[in-house]
Amino acid sequence: VVKINPGGKLKGKVAIVTGASRGIGEAIALRYAQEGARVVVSARTIDDGDHVLAGGINDVVQRIVDAGGQAIAVRS
């Protein structure tokens, strides 16, 4: 569960995270969002099912937005 701290250390900052559809990139994107950053989530995999591995940037963005954060997906 992602919990957003709008007054966190990264309030007012924009974080660009590549490889954020799964794994370490996903964890970094979620952590930046937790600290109040607006996050640009980027990877080649847009939606779950676009790749043999589970996960996609739209899923990561949705988790951030559902928790009250700000994020957009950009395919790279």
CA distance 48 to 44: 11
**Which of 22-26, 44-48, 66-70 has the lowest average pLDDT?**
44-48
pLDDT at 35: 97
Beta strands in the chain (DSSP E): 14-18, 38-43, 71-75
- The 10s digit of each residue's pLDDT in 40-49 is 999 987 776 6
Give the tokens for residue 69.
């954060």
CA distance 55 to 7: 29
